[in-house]
Amino acid sequence: MGYDLKMRVWRGDESGGDLADYVVPVEEGEVVLDALHRLQATQAGDLAVRWNCKAGKCGSCSAEINGKPRLTCMTRLSIFDPDETVTVTPLRTFPVIRDLVTDVSYNYEKAKQVPAFAPEPRRPDGTYRMQQEDVERGQEFRKCIECYLCQTVCHVVRDHDDNKRAFSGPRFFLRYAELEMHPLDTNDHREAARDEAGVGLCNITKCCTEVCPEGIKITDNAIIPVKERVVDRRYDPLVWLGSKIFRR
């Protein structure tokens, strides 16, 4: 059965803004993005909202709902009490462009820093071969829809904007892990993960894993293995000696 949803939506731009109150009629089975679209269609025609697929697959509609980073298209209104006010604000970690739309170019800059996949030469029969378990390990990382919810929730940059220069964030630790675990990749990514991506700044709070809409175990399956490999290289005397000898 439909009801009148109390909404509070952040309105403004890079020069500042505030929360605005609305009452939006909603129907059973709808999601927060439906309510935002109805608000836009009936009361706030200039409301800026980014979205694309409405199916949890494009990663565009990320926002903070009652303070928690979520996909607006995958957040059912039924999880809230009908009397509750639903507050929608832009992703806090990125600069606001307008209303709920933020400038996520920090993430594109960090993506550019990740070295490209560099496979070893093909075998004489023209093929590449890898074990099935290596194929499956990488599949989890490739489920990422680049919604950047993990990036916005991570306190390393959420509370410390000045860390952005030195920290790539959980989404990109996934990429380092995928390359580092890929049996055909010829690069050693451990120094880059430590020095350019700043994996050492992560103190394993796991907030990134909690908000990931794809259920990727970012901390356990990507960040901790990358951290372990970085530490092995740095503190294992044999690894250190080997790297010195082979550099000559």
Residue 80: exposed, middle, or buried by beta-carbon count in 10 A (0-12, 13-18, 19+)? middle
Binding site for ligand FES (CB under 6 A): 51-54, 56-61, 71, 73
Report if residue 174 touches ligand SF4, rule: CB under 6 A: yes
Binding site for ligand F3S (CB under 6 A): 154, 156, 170, 202-208, 219, 223
Nearest to 24 by CA among 48, 1, 45, 40: 40
- Rounded Cα–Cα distance for residues 16 and 93 (Å): 15
Q: Which residues contact 86 (CB under 8 A, 6 or more apart)?
A: 5, 6, 7, 8, 32, 35, 65, 66, 77, 80
Residue 211: exposed, middle, or buried by beta-carbon count in 10 A (0-12, 13-18, 19+)? buried
Among 47, 104, 147, 154, interactor with ligand SF4 by CB under 6 A: 147
Taking CB under 6 A as the criterion, which residues in 3-42 touch ligand SF4?
none
Which partner, ligand FES, ligand F3S, ligand SF4, none, binds residue 206 by CB below 5 to 8 Å per kind?
ligand F3S
Cβ atoms 26, 2 nearer than 8 A: yes
Which partner, ligand FES, ligand F3S, ligand SF4, none, binds residue 156 by CB below 5 to 8 Å per kind?
ligand F3S
Which partner, ligand FES, ligand SF4, ligand F3S, none, binds residue 212 by CB below 5 to 8 Å per kind?
ligand SF4
Interacting span for ligand SF4 (CB under 6 A) from 128-136, 160-168, 194-202, 206-214 = 206-214
Residues that bind ligand SF4 (CB under 6 A): 144-150, 170-171, 174, 211-214, 216, 218
